Amino acid sequence: MAEGEKNAGETEGASEEATMNLDASTEPSSKPGLSPSAVAEEAKLLRRLQMMMNMVMGVIAQDNTLSYDDAAAMVADARTAALAMFPGKELAYDLIWKPRFQRLMRERFRLV
């Protein structure tokens, strides 16, 4: 029994290492060839994008007077702004933000 527990612990430790390595490789500062100012600018844009998306999601979720068409327009405008900040990242938007907005719209307007 003790051997099985040891193996499970070793597997858990290995996955923690992989997670830490993954986290380190996704940070803007780990990209080779970027100057510190470029890294800082990218981090600033990412924070701005997150804040903007959170604000749009908050308004859609909390404003009871908002119509479906207005909410859809806000989502479309948020997408346009995100792609203006990060040109060529349509796939990233479609993988990260689009499902979140779709789920929010379904929940908020009770769509099937």
| d(C-alpha 90, C-alpha 55), whole Å | 20
State the pLDDT confidence band at 34, using cuts at 50, 70 and 90.
Answer: confident
> Of 23-37, 39-53, 97-111, where does mean pLDDT reach its minimum?
23-37
Backbone angles phi, psi at 65, to 5 degrees: -90, -5
Q: Which comes out higher in pLDDT, residue 22 or 74?
A: 74
Within 8 A by CB and 6+ apart from 75, the residues are 56, 60, 101, 105
| Percent of the chain surpassing pLDDT 70 | 71
The residue ranges of every structural domain in the chain are: 1-30, 42-109
7: left (phi over 0), alpha (psi -120 to 50) or beta: alpha
Which tens digits make up the pLDDT trace of 66-112?
A: 999 999 999 999 999 999 999 999 999 999 999 999 999 999 998 86
| Angstrom distances, CA of residue 19 to CA of 12, 14, 25, 31, 43 | 11, 9, 10, 18, 21
Q: Are 75 and 57 in contact (CB under 8 A)?
A: no
